[in-house]
Amino acid sequence: MSSSDQTSFLENVNLCFDRAAAAIELPSGLAQQIRTCNAICEVKFGVELRGGYEVFTGWRATHSEHVLPVKGGIRYATFADQQEVEALAALMTYKCSIVNVPYGGSKGALKIDPKKYTQDELEHITRRFTQELDKRGFIGPGLNVPAPDMGTGQRMMAWMADEYQRLHPTDINARGCVTGKPVHFGGIQGRTEATGRGVQYGLREFFRNPDDVKSAGLEGTLEGKKIIVQGLGNVGYHAAKFFEEEDGAKIIAILERDGALLNEEGLSVEAVFAHKQEKGCMEGFSGAQFVPGGAELLEHPCDILVPAAMEGVITQENAGNIKAKVIAEAANGPVSYEADRILNEKCVFILPDAYLNAGGVTVSYFEWLKNLSHVRFGRMDRRYEEAQGQAILDVLEQALGKPVEGAARDSLLTGPDELTLVRSGLDDTMREAYGEIREVHLSNDKINDRRTAAFALSIKKIAAIYESMEL
């Protein structure tokens, strides 16, 4: 929670939920049933470290079990607490239903600064955390499936999967107990960049809807648009890189913890990233103005502002000064409820987190499906597709009397590999969900913005499932 805001992250999520629930018809009490966090476990466990013992605190919240398993990341952060985990778990429930991924929502956290431990120590701690979650039924391929989040990544997911497999040696689906694993350990191509890729696909879909683009005071496509990205972690880095390299957008500023880089002509995301990797900070990058602190650049004029780091960075304190026309929420909860209200009044078009950053969990879903089916996507049909393409090419060339060259030839002769299929599935998911949210917004007079529409869409879908269940 930001010090300047009156409401906590969890309250913000619940206020958004209540606003949406009030705009749709629901049987009495059902909104409360959907909104309530079903279970939360706090674990405190000792780990033998550096010749002594250290006690760690972790949480895993199961927000809604209207579908199983429940799904959501595990974050490693010193600021983690139970309320934050509950807020994030609730967002996962709404996120999954918005993008039609058949999971309930969950989230976990460990209160730790991962930078203070060696790889071996982190492995030991992560394996102990996995044992604790397993004992309490908070991990399992059919029950609760963690994934990476802030401070965690592929390697930790591999340790969790391996530990779970040791505890359940006869479970043939054990590797599906966690997603975001390395590809050689049951992961899937395209998972690392999936959240950033989903942000790109979501924004591309926005630009395919001229009425939306116009209502934001913009025109055209992503090409040449001035974008400010806050946070150069996994999500911010990939989204910024794709916007710059594939869509021709200008990344005019990148904000990080120690300060920001500004260049109205556009930054090279790769060069900034390499600089940050090498020096550990933004300062000293040539070819851009360094702005210490840098948070005021959230208020700098631009077409699209992409908060891609933490919750609560846009609050009632700075919302009134935001000049972006579109806010693309790559992070979870970057805009507080009150800030959201101010920005809506200013007609800033917000693509909400529960939709826009759902690329990660969508590709996690594909990974889980791969784990349960025990076969790589494309393995059965890739060469068949290529043979079909060859047959079409032969007929075409015969009819034309000349060879078909270039991209058309390549595309006919290349059967889809796993990465191509993952991207196709993610693109389809983001486009479909965009349309569903838009439809809810335009068909309900009580709904004035896309966040409320996204929540309403999700509540309706979950309510329909509850209405078919006996409680």
**With CB under 6 A as the contact rule, which of the stretches 29-37, 66-74, 395-403, 420-428 interacts with ligand GLU?**
66-74
Q: What are residue 165's phi and psi, to 5 degrees? A: -65, -40
Establish if 200 lies at the interface with ligand GLU (CB under 6 A).
no
Question: How many whole angstroms separate alpha carbon 449 and alpha carbon 438?
Answer: 9
Q: Which two tokens stand for residue 73?
A: 């990341």
Sites for ligand GLU among residues 349-378 (CB under 6 A): 357, 360-361, 364
What's the closest the beta carbon of residue 401 comes to ligand GLU, in angstroms? 51
Q: Single out the residue of 69, 72, 176, 196 in contact with ligand GLU (rule: CB under 6 A).
A: 72
Q: Single out the residue of 35, 60, 71, 438 in contact with ligand GLU (rule: CB under 6 A).
A: 71
Give the Cα-Cα-Cα angle 415, 418, 424 (nearest 5 degrees): 85
Question: Closest Cα to residue 362, out of 159, 193, 224, 243?
Answer: 193
Closest residue to ligand GLU using C-beta atoms: 73
Residue 326 host element (H or E): strand 326-328
Judged by CB, which is closer to ligand GLU: 149, or 449?
149
Question: Closest Cα to residue 186, out of 212, 161, 211?
Answer: 161
Count Cβ atoms below 10 Å from residue 320 Cβ, excluding itself: 12
181 annotated active-site: no
What's the closest the beta carbon of residue 73 comes to ligand GLU, in angstroms? 3
Judged by CB, which is closer to ligand GLU: 349, or 355?
355
Which residue among the candidates 107, 181, 250, 370 is catalytic per the annotation? 107
Q: Which two tokens stand for residue 335?
A: 């805009």
Establish if 60 lies at the interface with ligand GLU (CB under 6 A).
no
Judged by CB, which is closer to ligand GLU: 72, or 176?
72
Give alpha helix (H) positions in 99-228.
119-135, 154-167, 194-207, 210-215
Question: How many whole angstroms separate alpha carbon 237 and alpha carbon 291?
Answer: 19
What's the closest the beta carbon of residue 370 comes to ligand GLU, in angstroms? 14
In terms of residues, how long is the chain?
Answer: 471
3-state secondary structure of 5: coil
What's the closest the beta carbon of residue 357 comes to ligand GLU, in angstroms? 6
Question: How many whole angstroms separate alpha carbon 283 and alpha carbon 230?
Answer: 15
What's the closest the beta carbon of residue 284 comes to ligand GLU, in angstroms? 32
In whole angstroms, what separates CA 334 from the centre of its chain?
13
What's the closest the beta carbon of residue 418 comes to ligand GLU, in angstroms? 17
Count Cβ atoms below 10 Å from residue 346 Cβ, excluding itself: 13
Judged by CB, which is closer to ligand GLU: 24, or 358?
358
Establish if 149 lies at the interface with ligand GLU (CB under 6 A).
yes
Sites for ligand GLU among residues 285-344 (CB under 6 A): 332
Sites for ligand GLU among residues 109-148 (CB under 6 A): 147
Judged by CB, which is closer to ligand GLU: 14, or 357?
357
Residue type, 35: R
What's the closest the beta carbon of residue 378 comes to ligand GLU, in angstroms? 21
CB of 1 closer than 8 Å to CB of 8: yes
Establish if 86 lies at the interface with ligand GLU (CB under 6 A).
no
Is residue 307 reached through a cis peptide bond, with omega within 30 degrees of 0 on the bond before it? no
Question: Closest Cα to residue 450, out of 202, 239, 247?
Answer: 202
Q: How many residues touch ligand GLU (CB under 6 A)?
A: 11
CB of 222 closer than 8 Å to CB of 244: no
Residues in contact with 288: Cβ distance below 8 Å, sequence separation at least 6, in sequence order: 261, 262, 263, 267, 272
Q: Which two tokens stand for residue 355?
A: 């939709």
What's the closest the beta carbon of residue 362 comes to ligand GLU, in angstroms? 8
Establish if 73 lies at the interface with ligand GLU (CB under 6 A).
yes
Judged by CB, which is closer to ligand GLU: 73, or 114?
73
String marking each residue 380-419 x if it binds ligand GLU according to CB under 6 A: ----------------------------------------
String marking each residue 156-185 x if it binds ligand GLU according to CB under 6 A: -----------------------x------
Instruction: Give the residue numbers marked as catalytic.
Output: 107
Binding residues (CB under 6 A) for ligand GLU: these are 71-73, 147, 149, 179, 332, 357, 360-361, 364
